[in-house]
Structure 1
Amino acid sequence: MPAKIPATIVTGFLGSGKTTLIRHLLANADGRRIALIINEFGDLGVDGDILKGCGDETCTDDDVMELSNGCICCTVAEDFVPTMQKLLARGTPPDHIVIETSGLALPQPLVRAFNWPEISTRVTVDGVVTVVDGKAVTEGRFAHDTAAVDRQRAMDDNLDHETPLSELFDDQIACADMIVVNKTDLLDEAEKTDLLSKLETDSRAGVHVVPAVMGRLPADVLLGRSAAAESDMEGRHEVHHHHHDDEDDDDHHHDHDDFESFVVTLPEVTDPTAFAELVSSTIRAHDILRLKGFAAVQGKPMRLTLQAVGPRIETYFDRPLAANEPREARLVVIGQAGLDREAITRALSA
């Protein structure tokens, strides 16, 4: 029997840097043929579009498959397993499969799906990589500990209980084989040391906790872990949620209704720096969790990519605009339920 194809699950909260990490991995794949499964939260396939056309025959546009019908851990039977079957049925199967979950996905149900008879003999979970926004966690956001909750309470009187965000964070840490603490360039040495130490204490024995900047880690560090995670679920159980494959759909729920997303379409940008400042001020004013998208810039042939988590914004030109692409900006806005869509759209249009 041929060896099983390894699959790496990349999970982590919104804006932690999953797409950036995968982009770097593809650029340094060392000849591996890598197929991607991207599960987006939002109406505009930004992450998939960023990763398509990665410029190497080891990962073509056809190797990027997007799942946009809902959170991947809740659509295992409808979306994930059939997509895996399509990949495995190719004449030349990939050397490795990388799965980027949405920021709202629990990794545990996805790992268990690798035991489904349709795919269990062909593919195995090489490892679960949880990407953490080191700066956000250090500031007390999306972390499950008393000090973090106290800091949240100090900032917002409504945060007097454990939030769904911290629960998701805990579950992603509980399932990890490797924890990538991203954006460590934004931390001082003491903050970085304390955070790495805390995550090592909070995770399972043998889990590697590694610092990173812009997700820049060698492929040999991320791939080839041979964890066979689907056969090792005992220590990976959900901390706050208990999904079972035979549960009714009504029970298979983990606070997705607490989040919403929508798309804002704007005219082309005249000044990228001023536009980034406008986006940043809008995020602060409306408590937006994540904003990402693309824009045409007046007089520029290249497409501007914009990704923001909190008020911190990253912009770069990623590729030439195609002749048939509209010269406009399209942004996905993601936040907790109750966003004032009209006010946000007006602010971004200012």
Structure 2
Amino acid sequence: MSDLTKVPVTIVTGFLGAGKTTLISHLIRNAGGRRLAVVVNEFGTLGVDGDILKSCAIPDCPADNIVELANGCICCTVADDFIPTVEHLLALDPRPDHILIETSGLALPKPLLKAFDWPAIRSRITVDGVLALADAEAVAAGRFAPDLVAIEAQRAADPGIDHETPLAEVFEDQLACADMVLLTKVDLAGPDGVAAARTVIAAEAPRPVPVIELTDGVIDPRLILGLGAAAEDDIASRPSHHDGEDEHEHEDFDSVVIALGEITDPAVLTSRIEALARDRQILRVKGYAAVTGKPMRLLVQAVGARVRCHYDRLWQPGEPRGTSLVVIAEHDHIDPDTIRAALLD
């Protein structure tokens, strides 16, 4: 089977809240006649992103073409989840012209990339490109990247000590695997922030890669689909902190689902999430809330103390009204009772 008959796959990676779902929603609506299929990997048990994307379904990407994997990191469950999912999508009639894979914000892309060498699928699909999304404002603020000068000085003093944080390793591994970096939320970062973020990315990337700025996920699909990277054949040039390890774990991070009843004031919930992020070093909060007296569901998306809420759709007949939020943080900062109390106070 020649490469021309392989179904191209685009891997969309990036840190928590970088805008992966927003980008894929845009691509679904602007597919340019391509029949798309989407695999969404959630960190945590409450599916949010898959539900959002299914609400964007169109004839060229019906809801049945959108598969959600919410029971573990996609790069850790290759045999159990990823391979069967790809085989299912390839068996669809009509077969998809292009598959998009949205990894969780904490996933390491290289183990997933290696999965494309599995005999069951290698002759049928190819990695068209790996896109790494980076939040310009967050990167410029140094939240997801270390002080490079200080780290190099410490390494020079004692090269046997690893001074990098888990978040930095995830960020760097995502950049190292990328064929293209999409710098998101440039409107929030401003010109100085964008310039600072570009400097960090240039310093961290092991090889020069194109960097494209975008806002609200809007981009011409021709810029990012059809790259023809065949990244599965180029793994050696994509270094990882975990090279040489038989497997990797996500014990540095944990998540908890907090179920609440209806809320009366979205502004109060927002202020509680902001305080929780500051006090407990919470990385990400996402989910839905039922607001008393409102017929629509409130979508909640928070990155650190930056919280955004909007009503996304009507509650369906017979659908239980309630509030469910996934809270993600480094393992030592996840205490369900404390988090629940903070959201209820």
TM-score by length of 2: 0.91
Q: Match of 1:325?
A: 319
Distance 1:43 1:69, change over 3 A: closer
Equivalent-residue separation in structure 1 for 2:25 and 2:150 (angstroms): 31
CA deviations on 1:217-266 (whole Å, 9 max, x unpaired) are: 2222221111110111121121x11157xx4xxxx124x11111111111
What secondary structure sits across from 2:68 in the alignment? strand
Q: Match of 1:86?
A: 88
Q: Match of 1:169?
A: 171
What secondary structure sits across from 1:326 in the alignment? coil
Q: Does 1:300 align with 2:294?
A: yes
Q: Does 1:130 align with 2:124?
A: no
Between stretches 211-220 and 224-233, larger displacement belongs to 211-220
The one-letter amino acid paired with 1:62 is D
Equivalent-residue separation in structure 2 for 1:55 and 1:316 (angstroms): 20
Equivalent-residue separation in structure 1 for 2:150 and 2:19 (angstroms): 21
Q: CA deviation at 1:205?
A: 4.4
Superposition RMSD on alpha carbons, in Å?
1.9
Equivalent-residue separation in structure 2 for 1:236 and 1:146 (angstroms): 20
Runs of 4+ in 1 over 4 A off after TM superposition: 147-150
CA deviations on 1:172-195 (whole Å, 9 max, x unpaired) are: 101100111111112231221232
Equivalent-residue separation in structure 2 for 1:321 and 1:83 (angstroms): 29
CA deviations on 1:19-61 (whole Å, 9 max, x unpaired) are: 1221222222223221111111111011111111214112222
Is residue 37–residue 98 contact of structure 2 (8 Å, CA) maintained in 1?
Answer: yes
Q: Match of 1:103?
A: 105
Is residue 307–residue 313 contact of structure 1 (8 Å, CA) maintained in 2?
Answer: yes
Equivalent-residue separation in structure 2 for 1:270 and 1:58 (angstroms): 39
TM-score by length of 1: 0.90
Q: CA deviation at 1:135?
A: 1.3
Q: Does 1:349 align with 2:344?
A: yes
Equivalent-residue separation in structure 2 for 1:115 and 1:102 (angstroms): 21
How does 1:1-350 map onto structure 2 within 5 Å? Answer: 1=1, 3-147=5-149, 161-205=163-207, 207-238=209-240, 240-242=241-243, 247=246, 252-254=247-249, 256-338=250-332, 339-350=334-345
The one-letter amino acid paired with 2:128 is D
Consecutive unaligned residues of structure 1, counting only runs of 5 or more, are 151-159
Is residue 200–residue 208 contact of structure 1 (8 Å, CA) maintained in 2?
Answer: no
Equivalent-residue separation in structure 2 for 1:118 and 1:90 (angstroms): 16
The one-letter amino acid paired with 2:303 is V
Is residue 262–residue 292 contact of structure 2 (8 Å, CA) maintained in 1?
Answer: yes
Q: CA deviation at 1:4?
A: 1.0
Q: CA deviation at 1:129?
A: 0.4
Q: CA deviation at 1:273?
A: 2.4
Equivalent-residue separation in structure 1 for 2:115 and 2:338 (angstroms): 41
Consecutive unaligned residues of structure 2, counting only runs of 5 or more, are 153-161
What secondary structure sits across from 1:306 in the alignment? strand
State, as a whole percentage, how many aligned pairs show the same letter.
51
Q: CA deviation at 1:215?
A: 2.1
Q: CA deviation at 1:297?
A: 1.7
Distance 1:188 1:257, change over 3 A: same
Equivalent-residue separation in structure 1 for 2:222 and 2:84 (angstroms): 29
Equivalent-residue separation in structure 2 for 1:317 and 1:149 (angstroms): 43
Equivalent-residue separation in structure 2 for 1:309 and 1:149 (angstroms): 25
Between stretches 193-202 and 337-346, larger displacement belongs to 193-202
